[in-house]
Structure 1
Amino acid sequence: MNLLFRVIVSTILLATPVLAEVPPFPSTFRTQTVYVGNVDIHLRIGGKGPAVVLLHGYGETGDMWAPLAAKLEMDHLVIVPDLRGMGLSSHPEGGFDKASQARDLATILNGLHIDRFSLVTHDIGNMVGFALATQQPARVTRFALLDAPVPGIGPWDEILKNPLLWHFRFGGPDMERLVAGRERIYLDRFWNEFSADPKRFDEASRKHYAALYALPGAMHSGFAQFAAFDQDAIDNRAWAATGAKLEMPILAVGGEKSFGPGMAAVMRTAATQVSEGVIADAGHWLLEEQPDATVKMIDAFLSSSE
């Protein structure tokens, strides 16, 4: 076994979620923590069949995927990590550029003896998944991206001018002091402003994620995810400058009240087979705001043989 792939904890059933009352993963899922380089990555694994990797974004953890995982486990092997520095994964000093995080995942999948897999990603997970797809395109069979742009791809510079995205440049020691002990207030801003209806991001979920982001080092790591965007844009533009395009089938999904069809417009600048999906009456938090419609769209895409 690769020495970088050290199993620390395994075969723990997810009968109840950690810390609070968010929708639980099926009890058939197990958790497993693996050591990759300088970071412990917390995983949830369940089901049987073709592999699919679900990557979360900021303001949440892999716990967000429970409704989709419950559907996909019937005919997929479902792997759901917490990204480095987030959730129950550890908080290293660096490595928050998305190319490095993609290498985390490649090492994990190698250790699990998974050669080919689909990707379903949201928010910062889109950026990590995109890096992984550019690094190892032959391994990614299908790729669904949910409601967030990718640094350096398409109209990235114009997207950065949107005043709602001020948090992309928010960080550093003084900013950490400002939010210390006020994590819930800071995160409420995301859940409220990026929802079509803030009530759909329920109180139990808010308490759950706020507790995870209040763990030691968690906000520092979260700010580091955003601070790495400049390097991510450099990396992605260097890849695009070679003339490369992603050739696997891609589903680009936006919330009607958020990125909407703009998701597909972004991805068409970097890929050859892009389908557009829009979730009606939803903002950014698709699985909280419209879980049934989102699960149905993703499941149909992954099940398609076209």
Structure 2
Amino acid sequence: MLKTILALGLLVFAAPAGAEVPDFPASFETQEITTNGATIHVRVGGAGPAVVLLHGYGETGDMWAPMAADLARDHTVIVPDLRGLGLSSKPESGFDKKTQAGDVAGVLDALKVEEIDLVTHDIGNMVGFAFAAAHPDRTKRFVLIDAPVPGVGPWEEILKNPLLWHFRFGGPDMERLVAGRERIYLDRFWNEFSATPARFTETSREHYAKLYALPGAMHSGFAQFAAFDQDAIDNRAFLAAGGKLTMPVLAIGGEKSFGPMMATVMRAAASDVTEGVVPDSGHWIMEENPEATTKMVRAFLDKAN
């Protein structure tokens, strides 16, 4: 798992001339939904069955723009920024994934949406798992992409990977170290976890670095990781009480990142798991191979309908 990434250098590659961060379709609207002790920035567009897209660390809901444009042809697409990240509020607490699953439920309640398909990446996987476990009646299908889930499957072995040093990096002194140097810190992730770092363009790097330099954003990011021990306790309790998830699950890994390990993780926690691998991609699937990722997600959602 992730072994091919070890050979990657840390050079920053410039984007091709004219490259831009993809925009959501003009038909999408944004809302600020206050719920569960946070104000969540949400993009909503399209019409049809609802699908929620949850981002991870190092990006925001903006990462999903190409997939959202495709799915909006026949879905209502809901794209929040997780609490503390992007344009959502930066509360001092509530970064355990069980609480953030409550954020998602509150957003859906505000939008009067009862049932969803759920597509998640990185930290979004963890929030999505907590939501699906707490609200199986509201989760029709669940797609998880390229990140482990605390306390699930080979979690303890995954933690031993030296590339995951940042899981234990945090606290006030670390925040002071990265203040004003957010781009340096984030470049390390974008480079180390890419199969081809140049595909995480300079324009995207600048865009996300500015969002993570907002007051409270780096604190919130560190808090996402600091909550993993509690998340593991909560997830084991979910599984002990309710058993494995029963909705159809698609577990996707980047070919040069998690690969089939994503399905291995989810088979420990779900009874109906389909394996998927995004070719020619590392961890940043929507930067490195958005076309293949979108096609794989759409095929799963369409097949299950």
What TM-score bracket applies, with the shorter chain setting the length? Answer: over 0.9
Q: Is the 8 A contact 1:148 1:259 kept in 2?
A: yes
Secondary structure of the corresponding residue to residue 152 of structure 2: coil
Matches within 5 A, 1:197-208: 197-208=196-207
Aligned 1:142-291 pairs, distance under 5 A: 142-242=141-241, 244-291=243-290
What do the CA deviations read for 1:157-206 (whole angstroms, capped 9, x no partner)? 00000000000000001100110000000000000000001001000000
Please give the alpha-carbon distance, in whole angstroms, between the structure 1 residues aligned to 2:218 and 2:257: 25
**Within 1, Cα distance between the matches of 2:93 and 2:159?**
23
Q: Classify the secondary structure of the residue corresponding to 2:304.
A: coil
Contact 2:195 2:281 in 1 (8 A): yes
* CA positional deviation for 1:142: 0.5
Deviation track 1:110-151 (CA, whole Å, cap 9, x = no partner) reads 121111100000000000000000000011001000000000
Match of 1:86 in 2: 85
CA distance in 1, matches of 2:225, 2:99: 14
CA distance in 2, matches of 1:243, 1:34: 30
Does the CA-based 8 Å contact 2:36-2:106 persist in structure 1? no
Quote how far apart the aligned CAs of 1:242 are.
2.8
Cα shift readout 1:271-292 (whole Å, capped 9, x = no counterpart): 0110000011110000110111
- Match for residue 17 of structure 1? none
Identity percentage of aligned residues? 72
Aligned partners of 2:242 and 2:127: how far apart in 1? 20
Deviation at 1:107, TM superposition (A): 1.3
Letter in 1 for 2:85: M
- Please state how far the C-alpha of 1:243 moved relative to its aligned partner: 5.5
Name the amino acid aligned to 1:65.
W
1:120-159 correspondence to structure 2 within 5 Å: 120-159=119-158
Determine the structure 2 residue equivalent to 1:69.
68
Equivalent position of 1:27 in the other structure: 26
* CA shift for structure 1 position 88: 0.1
Structure having greater relative contact order (Cα 8 Å, sep ≥ 6): 2
Indicate the residue corresponding to 1:10 in structure 2: none
Contact (CA 8 Å) 2:33, 2:110: kept in 1 or not?
A: no
Cα distance in structure 2, aligned partners of 1:155 and 1:29: 39
Aligned residues: 287
What's 1:106 paired with?
105
Q: Separation in 1 of the partners of 2:238 and 2:37?
A: 26
| Contact residue 21 and residue 208 of structure 1 kept, 8 A | no
Contact 2:146–2:252 (CA under 8 A) maintained in structure 1: yes
Q: In the alignment, is the contact (CA less than 8 A) between 2:117 and 2:141 conserved in 1? A: yes
What is the letter of the counterpart of residue 221 of structure 1? S
**Structure 2: distance between partners of 1:249 and 1:241:** 20
Report deviation, 1:21. Answer: 3.7
Match of 2:38 in 1: 39
Question: What is residue 3 of structure 1 aligned with on the other side?
Answer: none
Q: Take 1:108 and 1:74, find their aligned partners in 2: how far apart are those partners? A: 22
TM-score with structure 1 setting the length: 0.92
Distance 1:109 1:242 in 2: 25
Distance 1:204 1:282 in 2: 19
The code of the aligned residue for 2:237 comes to A
The letter of the residue matching 1:242 is: A
Provide runs of 4+ in structure 1 moved above 6 Å. Answer: none
State the distance in 2 between where 1:135 and 1:235 align. 11
Question: What is the TM-score of this pair, normalised by structure 2?
Answer: 0.93
